[in-house]
Amino acid sequence: MEQTHSRVAVVTGGSGGIGRAVAERLGADGMNVVVAYSGNTERAAEVVKAVEAAGGRAVAGRADVAEPDEVDALFDTAEREFGGVDVVVNTAGIMILKPLVEFDLDDLDRMHRTNIRGTFVVSRAAARRLRSGGALINFSTSVTRLALPTYSAYAASKGAVDALTLVLARELRGRDITVNAVAPGPTATPLFLDGKPQEVVERMAGQAPLERLGTPDDIATAVAFLAGPARWVNGQVVYVNGGIA
């Protein structure tokens, strides 16, 4: 069906590395963007300016993705400022790495709250409020395939995202809404790089046949495809990792 309005995107984690790249790319594609962030107001404001410089319109909205009222307020903002919501990209997430036998349960609960509960809350809001022709893109990880040591809890949280995403795609039968997940491999963002020795980063960069780390723009390109022209891609986990897995 031909769109008679500019598409509107809500991007959670929008002040982070991948989230910012996604917001800018969707703005460059002509979308209006709600840049959702959890803490850094200044960084979110920078992303709003970058989206507008790329050609879109944007506003920032603060929300804890695990809190339904705050997520609903993001959608309210999108509807008030831009008329509705067509795309939801849920990049918000945290990663804590330790061997399973050393993993603190408080850390497990904290990661569960953002990665699983947060994805559930955002996905539920998207399912209720996306317009026909819409797209929900959640974020998984290629570590669910790579099975790297110290990633057990993180991979488990993202395995839950995979399951939720695939089931929701089928539950939205008849709505003309696609539901997919993007599963990045090693990507040069603070989330990935922080705390890793240089030799570890170089070794992981060399594992891909393309012999480099991914960039936020690499991931944003895949998101833009799923958010726009990829109407026949639905109920999938799309691995965006340069062939590492």
Domains in the chain and their CATH numbers? 8-238 (3.40.50.720)
Residue 4: per-residue pLDDT:
54
pTM: 0.94
Cα–Cα distance, 166 to 37 (Å, whole number) = 26
Residue 202: per-residue pLDDT:
82
Residue 192: per-residue pLDDT:
72
Phi, psi (degrees; rounded to nearest 5) at 120:
-65, -45
How far is the CA of 43 from the CAs of 13, 50, 61, 154, 164, in angstroms?
11, 11, 12, 25, 30
Cα–Cα distance, 23 to 54 (Å, whole number) = 10
For residue 52, what are its two tokens?
Answer: 């507008």
Cα–Cα distance, 203 to 213 (Å, whole number) = 10
**Active-site annotation holds for 151:** no
* Residue of 37, 151, 154, 239 marked active site: 154
Neighbours of 204 (CB within 10 A): 17
Neighbour-count burial of 223, counting CB atoms closer than 10 A to its CB (0-12 exposed, 13-18 middle, 19+ buried): buried
Residue 1: per-residue pLDDT:
41
Residue 3: per-residue pLDDT:
53
For residue 198, what are its two tokens?
Answer: 């240089």
What parts of the chain have a pLDDT lower than 70?
A: 1-4, 191
